[in-house]
Amino acid sequence: MNNLDPEVARDPEHLVVYGGRGKAARSWRDFEAIVAALRGLGEEETLLVQSGKAVGVFPTHADAPRVLIVNAMVVPKWATDDIFWDLEARGLTMYGQMTAGSWIYIGTQGILQGTFETLAALARTEFGAPDLAGRWFLSSGLGEMGGAQPLATTMLGGVALIVDVDPRAIERRLKGRYLDEKAADLDDALEQVQRAVAAREPRSVGLLGNAADVFPEILRRKITPDVVSDQTAAHDLMVGYIPRGYTVEQAAEARRKDPVAYRLGVQASIALEARAILGLRARGAKAFDYGNNFRTQAREAGVADAFDIEGYVPRYIRPLFEVGSGPFRWVALSGEANDIARIDRLLLSEFGQDEHLARWIRLAAEKVKFQGLPARICYMGYGERERFGHRVNDLVRDGELSAPIAIGRDHHDTGSVASPYRETEAMRDGSDAIADWPILNALLNVASGATWVSVHHGGGTGIGNSIHAGLVVVADGTPEADRRLGRTLHNDPGLGVARHADAGYPASLELAARAKFRIPRR
């Protein structure tokens, strides 16, 4: 229900949560059946959900997951866009994205923190600085994922110019305080950006336009941003990227009338934007692909050197994954913001020695507007998540929190995903496409006693390009929950360390040598 809260979901009427067509349930009839099954679920029963459809309640045991979810799995030979979306149109499957179909989406804050981590790592790697003060970032997309870009930039002291073709997206981000200003036109936008950069003043500017028009024009004017990227839902060509020359409404009509011609128009526009990004990169901008399959779409549209734009995981995030660190989140089931504030204080007290983490928590408390149930996210690694889970369970037990806390994470995590164009791109041992790891992750979390566990296909980079797993474990203050929390929050990131140790990363091998789990000798 929280995933489909109007404050959370992109299009709740059609069950779409985020990421193009990522849904929480297959149909409203299926939604009602899932809710009814959950309400009647016993403490030794498990509900099975097959691509957004409840298909059975089975007798299990108290430490088994209450729900097991699998979304969008298709036999590999049939895992193409055309086949999958035909099956979806026939009511046989559902695209679950990542946290849409696993019911732990928390609104834009989820990607906000990931974007904050990425841009902070970029600042350290590219500029030798702790933040983006005096730098500006050009990107496109203000939807469910891209909407995080402006606020993440200003939280790091930088200036953002974000282009979007949908005026409603700009207004929504202004209303939610993710975006500071709306420009009248490109001239106005660039003037605002240059003024803010000169003053080293954090500022974000939204520009109504199409990136396929705006990016080439900025290149033509010989203006070079410090950083450039794209965060449209380009993995889904039919609804995630609007071709140049169309409004959102005109695009909807065009794809209905002639989907083949429409798709060709999308590909041509992506190619124009990609060539502009490569041109800005040649002029000195730091360009990165943010995992939306933009480079693949551009290459298929004829941009042969699209992959000269580096992926953000191998360039910036993999050092975090190597030590079991990733996007960890929790939701106050009470609906009370005070419960999140109390956990914020816990983090600052017990993990405050991590200055980067403390900066995020303070800024999030000040700047993040909750969508739906109050929630928080941060990157936490092996050992830290387990310790955190026990402490939160103590707070529930002692009455310092008014209700249980649901603790989960993004599927985009250290050991839970195989995605050769994103999380597992350019692995040290060449194991980019090996998908055993997310399946092992899900199985291990079931054995550990997570409250619900999910396995999905296609999220983030589109059908045929990824397999990934997610989990949630509930802290209800009981000793039984404490044991489940300890096992799950140790084993889940631990597998990420093991996965990267297996690939030969020195930091992972060093951590694994002193971890609680064991890697058999060979």
> Could you list the active site residues?
378
Q: Using the 8-state DSSP alphabet, how is residue 159 labeled?
A: E
Are the C-beta atoms of residues 471 and 452 closer than 8 Å to each other?
yes
Whole-angstrom distance, CA of residue 363 vs CA of residue 155: 7
Amino acid at 133: A
**CB-neighbour burial class of residue 349 (10 A; exposed 0-12, middle 13-18, buried 19+):** exposed
Whole-angstrom distance, CA of residue 216 vs CA of residue 280: 9
Whole-angstrom distance, CA of residue 479 vs CA of residue 451: 15
Q: Which residues sit opposite 50 in a β-bridge?
A: 53, 70
Amino acid at 403: A
Are the C-beta atoms of residues 428 and 505 closer than 8 Å to each other?
yes
Are the C-beta atoms of residues 471 and 415 closer than 8 Å to each other?
no
Backbone angles phi, psi at 229, to 5 degrees: -160, -170
State how far the alpha carbon of 333 is from the alpha carbons of 17, 104, 340, 474, in Å: 19, 12, 10, 10
Q: Which residues sit opposite 23 in a β-bridge?
A: 16
Backbone angles phi, psi at 109, to 5 degrees: -55, -35
DSSP code per residue over 29-40: HHHHHHHHHHHT
The two tokens of residue 98 are 């990542």
**C-alpha closest to that of 492 among 446, 458, 423:** 446
Cβ-Cβ contacts under 8 Å for 467 (sequence gap 6 or more)? 417, 418, 419, 435, 438, 439, 455, 456, 457
The two tokens of residue 467 are 């397999």
The two tokens of residue 9 are 């979901």
Pairing of strands 45-50, 67-71: parallel
Cβ-Cβ contacts under 8 Å for 458 (sequence gap 6 or more)? 72, 79, 84, 95, 97, 464, 465, 466
State how far the alpha carbon of 184 is from the alpha carbons of 160, 212, 305, in Å: 16, 18, 34
Looking at the chain, the number of H-run helices and the number of E-run strands are 18, 18
What are the residue ranges of helices labelled H in 301-372?
A: 312, 318-322, 337-350, 355-367
State how far the alpha carbon of 286 is from the alpha carbons of 135, 173, 222, 518, in Å: 11, 25, 15, 40
What are the residue ranges of helices labelled H in 128-258?
A: 149-155, 167-175, 186-199, 211-220, 248-257
Amino acid at 478: T
CA 270 to chain centre: 22
